[in-house]
Structure 1
Amino acid sequence: MNTTDPAFESRLKDSAVATEALLVSLLSDQTLPDEVTRPAHLMAAMRHGSLNGGKRLRPFLLRESALLLGGNEQAAMRIGAALECLHCYSLIHDDLPAMDDDDLRRGQPTVHRAFDEATAILAGDSLLTYAFDIIAAPETALPDRAKTELVLALARAAGSGGMVGGQALDLAAEKSAPDEAGITTLQAMKTGALIRFACEAGAIIAGADQEHRQRLRKFGQVIGLAFQLADDLLDITSDAETMGKATGKDAARGKGTLVAMHGTGWAEEKLDALTAEAVDLLAPYGEKAFILQQTARFIASRQN
């Protein structure tokens, strides 16, 4: 398996801290113009589902992709925070009893356990809506054209043809196991779509041309596949304490995964191949791509 550079690990940690600080500010009780009030109970639930640590990998990918192409770092931080709000909404809803029915997320009770189901639904709804607010807000220093492109790209990645559609396919997979092509499609939507967006968004923020945008989009697609494959491998080989969430649930629910289909040895070889593909995609950028290339290696070798 691949290993990562200590300098990368430090950069990832610093980025997570900065993203957390920005989210703390964005999710305060202080109202914004045209808001009437922010109900304390709702805001507490939103913070519970968002300010609970994590690697903040998607904002990191977005920021580093933007920096690779000379994009505005502060704008990238805000778009990254928007993406994280949307990602956290999806986790809150996925954990609900009607969905994946999980009690633990990042080592703490899920939102519907810490509060109640209705509050968890509303917290997720609020985070989803807020993601697009953050992108469109005047504090995000980007041209209107870039904001429009980001809103469209995120909506497509997150909606019925992306992440939400992937969750629908995932629920259906409990009743009728998909074949290998079906599993790959499901995972490219449920997990891969937001990772793909994170990388492509960096190019949009930088105002890059279609060649750069498509290259980073492809990079995101490849590491998105690697992310889900590593996750499925960890679901078999790791434990709840290490992962911060329940493990072994796919097998218990009868869901097919590529790891279950082909074995752990195949999965490790596939992860190495995907990592090599991702690294090669960024080779034209030379040393400037080092951090993103290290991110690909990290995704394949992570332990939680």
Structure 2
Amino acid sequence: MDEDGPSGTGGICDGRVVVVTGAGRGLGRAHALAFAAEGARVVVNDLGVGLDGRPGPDGPAARVVEEIRAAGGEAVAHGGDIATGAGAESLIRTAVETFGRLDTLVGNAGFLRDRMLVNLDEDDWDAVIRVHLKGHFLPLKHAAVHWRAEAKAGRTPVARVVHTGSGAGLLGSVGQANYSAAKAGIVGLTLVAAAELARYGVQVNAVAPAARTRMTEHTFAAAMAAPADGFDAMAPENVSPLVVWLGSAASAGVTGRVFEAEGGRITVMEGWRPGPTADKGARWTPAGAGELARELLSAAEPPGAVYGA
């Protein structure tokens, strides 16, 4: 699929078809509106659940679609559960059948069930891992199957995937073992997907956002008040420009990377890489290994602080 979609706004996503999961509120809504403003046709996915993942009273995806259409854009709602194979397959099929193509997938759906480890129930662990990690994997898998078929048919796509990570997945967060583990898993998934899917014209990156949403309103309570200078640093709309750029053809050559985005700040995150090392060419004793470990640690960069520690 080359970049020959219908003309529209002249934005950097003009003619592209973009799927955004969890797009009924918060960051996902901001992303969907921003993509539409740059000319994309958008599939707005949202299950309409509450903050804890349980059924909610309304269908926010339809409201976002109405906003996009009112502004002159094109969008369609999808209310399926993307953490199931059928729901994820339906999501990708909706994009292709409605708009004739798929160019960008933004994984954003998620919720919280925060507990300290000693109080964290198995159900709360499974539910958060399911929606965040499985809910990123399954849409990615079905999108990748579609793009591989396009590439093999001689229509190599200019495809983009943007996953939603978190500082909790990079540094850890007290009271959020399930969420931190899921977000760390999303980073690993991103790196593998970037390596495996490059041959099919697909770039895969992740963004770790800091913004005020239903999931973070308590974390950023101090930043809830209107800013005196007129710039709301915690607005989710601040994260969307980077996501839109990563989801566009303009980001050519950028893949397998993780960015932090907060307010007006964008940071390239540098992950695990070898630090101080030593090799004596033979097996260590426990005491010797411990002595060396302390020497190496004294020469290593200290880790970032765990959130809430």
Larger Rg, first or second structure (1 or 2) = 2
TM-score (structure 2 length as normaliser): 0.32
Hey, which of these two has a bigger chunk of helix by percent?
1
The higher relative CO (CA closer than 8 Å, separation ≥ 6) is in 1
- Could you tell me the TM-score, scaled by structure 1's length? 0.32
